[in-house]
Structure 1
Amino acid sequence: MSRPRIYISRMIPERPLTLLREHCDVHIWQEDTPPPAEEISAQVQQADAFLSMLTEKVDRALIESAPSLKVICNYAVGYDNIDIAAATERGIPVGNTPGVLTEATADQAFTLLLAAARRLPEAIAYVQNGEWKTWNPIQLLGQELHGSTLGIIGLGRIGCAMARRAKGFGMRILYHGGGGCAEEVGAEATSLENLLRESDFISLHTPLTDKTRGLFGAEQFAMMKRSAILVNTARGGIIQTDALLQALQTRQIAFAALDVTDPEPLPADHPLLDLPNCIVAPHLGSATHATRTRMGEMVADDLLRGLRGERLEHCVNPEVYT
């Protein structure tokens, strides 16, 4: 009896990879860059299971071209890169990695917030460029977290983890959307407009949906404080990039700290990368050894479940089982 064939569109940690190789014929794209669309198409057409990354577009055409495909798992908590309706019509369950990356992503968000508030990138460059001559009482003054207001868009798992960190720093917390931990962290529900006007820091933790795509544009930036710092570790498409660029160039807002962008990655010559009031990280929200390994274990387990005809433990379209 032939072993099922799995296509993986990027290298993953060794432990989950070993688990998959014990049960399946595994084919992996070995490069650090995303595979070309024609490579994905050729491989998925022959595959029984597909382990996709958030950079891969798993659209209706790809799904319908793969007659043997039984299960798809996304190496991410988000799945806006997958046509869920098309997969569901084919009876293909789609898995993801919820929960496991919550703390790591909140760490990244708070790291970006702190770096922006205390002007760390600018300060490091100041020293490296030989500009540090003496101590100065008005040199590189940043913003204080204690007593300031953090606005969280999306008080879900990661938003709550972010709120717990903010509470420890003595910040007032406003939120719009979600709210399961509001009482625990002392967060106040408010309208989006009021959150924008009152917050010193705004952190995005909402999924990318039709409703949230382009949520932050020129109108929203105009409502924010000129001293406001915007942090995004969710999805780049929540922010209208051109509007953000203009808001930063005109100092409509003070700073943006981004772990995600639209497009992603940004071209090397993109003007956002030249701004002194913007820092961009290469989508590192879940980038710890422990988290990425656990993500791999979750998707490996669900891929094997799907190949056995069993229900996925983490399934975004459970209606395939009805």
Structure 2
Amino acid sequence: MKILVAEPMSPAAIELLRRQPDFEVIESNPKEYEQHLADCEALLVRSAVKVKADTLARAPKLRVIGRAGVGVDNVDLAAATAAGVLVMNTPGGNAVSVAEHTLALMLALARMIPEANASTRAGKWEKKKFLGNELRGKTLGIVGLGSIGQEVVRRARAFEMRIIASDPYVNPVTAADLGVELVPFERLAAEADYISLHVALTPETRNMINAETIARMKPGVRIINCARGELIDQDALNEALRSGRVAGAGLDVFSPEPLPEGHPLLSAPNLIATPHIAGSTEEAQEIVGIRIVEQLVEYLLQGVAINAVNMPAVAPEQYRAISPYIELAERLGRFAAFIGPENAQAVRLTYRGRIAELNTNLLRNAALAGVLSRSLAGRANLVNAMQLASQRNLAVTEAHQPRGGATDSIQVEIIAPAAATSVTGGVVMDKPRLLSIDGIPVEITLAGHLIYMRNIDVPGVIGHVGSVLGRNQINIANFSLGRQERPAAPGQPLEAVALVEVDTPASEPILAELRGHPAVRLAVTVEPGG
């Protein structure tokens, strides 16, 4: 498979890719990478390449985008999800580098290092002009207490700063362990001497630093941004720097990047600007490059998605525990779609046994991918299944029954206005196995070419099946039978089901022959996968 590296990566990361015997590695650059998109299955980027909907349209085989770094706003996540392309990043890989750069900007602002350097190199000796401030005793307000924010806390504590943080998603225990007081953003803005931004770009965080929030800040505040340029209203910051309301700003990110020549912010007083280099250290580039390659290999070869951005998050250890059931769920969904009613309105999923106690989001997506794959010609997968189900107004419900049976199992039920079909399966000897259809016990491995039959439980049907298949040179590999314990309604005959595994697919004329027996109500082929 072809792996396209669209931006420079560390030599160690490239070497790790080239060690994979099934990988063809193409190294390119942001200006030329698009000419290689047509055949690539994986795309590796940093921050320069913008992966938009039209980019994805030119990459029909693409399965995964690996972002060597944290921010993924250079990738159109909605378009990637719709295309069924997994997006993964490497949170924390460059956390130390970004944290160190944050502290460097804070120190440079506090001690006016760039101005003092320029003055001294110009032959001046202006000691009194560059009277700075200590960080000790100052209040640092950290917005976003993720991996980078936590590294900033650890380093700022060495400077004896008081640290407060605003993050509605962080566990209070985490903050307490760090010795950080969690406060609302409004209070942080009012109390902090330094404000450092470490949040992702979302509709809620865009322009979170604006004229209104600056007006509520302590006069003389200093603002640090090593996250995303769009977090700050640059016009408002420019005005606040020039008025002195904000005493200084250390910015590593801008909107757009680079800022156009002559942009007023670039000439604002007390601004220290760096060209998006907070995460650009030799050590960080090595770490994030190797990590994203390791994640890519794990996903492409083992199916384990680590640090997925647009797919339900599951810890690697739990992923390995449920991975056989992911395959089971997908094949059950596919099987149900082959034998179930048309015009489905809902899918009901039931998990029983130990797997009911686990995170089942991926199992849900896998089952939906199977249900939808027949009508969508394979376009449904773990990434886009929920989105596709929503687009089709397919109601999805889940039930968890940890004590629902002796065997770990998954049940997929497809519900239409006038009918419903349910199939239940488990994992037996590491293989996905069907256990029942509509409550009728019948077992077979969900693989190969299957014929599913439903008939009145009378003598002669099995012989009829054998005669028809034998006459048409269709070899039977496995034959599994089941029947109702009691009629569906009083006065109705008992029904039986049969699953016939054959070496070659049965054509429609052969299926028509099978349906020719007066007791046979249904005979269809099923391709569950594998």
Fold match (TM-score > 0.5) = yes
Whole-Å separation in 2 of the counterparts to 1:53 and 1:289: 14
Moved more, 178-187 or 16-25: 178-187
Higher strand share: 2
Deviation per residue, 1:118-141 (Å, 9 max, x gap):
1111111111111116xx4x3311
Whole-Å separation in 2 of the counterparts to 1:9 and 1:276: 37
Query: 1:151-230, aligned counterparts within 5 Å?
Result: 151-177=141-167, 178-180=169-171, 181-230=174-223
1:231 aligns with 2:224: yes
1:283 aligns with 2:276: yes
User: Of residues 271, 285, 289 in structure 2, which corresponds to 1:292?
Assistant: 285
1:103 touches 1:161 (CA, 8 Å); kept in 2? yes
What secondary structure does 2:19 align onto?
helix
What secondary structure does 2:140 align onto?
strand
- Show the counterpart of 2:10: 13
Query: 1:83-162, aligned counterparts within 5 Å?
Result: 83-132=76-125, 136=127, 138-162=128-152
Moved more, 120-129 or 87-96: 87-96
Whole-Å separation in 1 of the counterparts to 2:161 and 2:114: 23
Whole-Å separation in 2 of the counterparts to 1:294 and 1:189: 30
Moved more, 305-314 or 59-68: 305-314
User: Shift in Å at residue 186 of structure 1?
Assistant: 2.4
What secondary structure does 1:254 align onto?
strand
User: Shift in Å at residue 313 of structure 1?
Assistant: 2.4
Whole-Å separation in 1 of the counterparts to 2:2 and 2:297: 11
2:241 touches 2:269 (CA, 8 Å); kept in 1? no
User: Shift in Å at residue 40 of structure 1?
Assistant: 4.2
Whole-Å separation in 2 of the counterparts to 1:28 and 1:68: 18
TM-score, normalization by structure 1: 0.90
2:7 touches 2:49 (CA, 8 Å); kept in 1? no
What 5-or-longer segments of structure 2 have no aligned partner? 313-381, 386-530
Deviation per residue, 1:156-208 (Å, 9 max, x gap):
11111111212221111111114443213322222222211111100001111
User: Of residues 267, 270, 273 in structure 2, which corresponds to 1:274?
Assistant: 267
Deviation per residue, 1:285-308 (Å, 9 max, x gap):
222212211111111122233333
Moved more, 86-95 or 157-166: 86-95
User: Of residues 70, 94, 97 in structure 2, which corresponds to 1:77?
Assistant: 70
- Show the counterpart of 1:26: 25
1:151 touches 1:173 (CA, 8 Å); kept in 2? yes
- Show the counterpart of 2:248: 255
1:70 touches 1:306 (CA, 8 Å); kept in 2? no
Identity %: 38
Moved more, 119-128 or 85-94: 85-94
What secondary structure does 1:312 align onto?
coil
Whole-Å separation in 1 of the counterparts to 2:38 and 2:235: 37
What secondary structure does 1:48 align onto?
strand
Q: CA RMSD in A?
A: 1.9
Moved runs in structure 1, 4+ residues, more than 6 A?
none
Deviation per residue, 1:211-245 (Å, 9 max, x gap):
10111111111122231110001111111111111
1:93 touches 1:306 (CA, 8 Å); kept in 2? no
Whole-Å separation in 1 of the counterparts to 2:27 and 2:261: 27
Query: Max radius of gyration: which structure?
Result: 2
2:69 touches 2:93 (CA, 8 Å); kept in 1? no
Higher relative contact order (CA 8 A, sep 6+): 1
User: Shift in Å at residue 143 of structure 1?
Assistant: 2.0
User: Shift in Å at residue 25 of structure 1?
Assistant: 2.5
Residue 160 of structure 1 aligns to which amino acid in structure 2?
Answer: Q
Moved more, 162-171 or 305-314: 305-314
Moved more, 180-189 or 77-86: 180-189
Whole-Å separation in 2 of the counterparts to 1:106 and 1:261: 18
User: Of residues 310, 314, 318 in structure 2, which corresponds to 1:317?
Assistant: 310
What 5-or-longer segments of structure 1 have no aligned partner? none
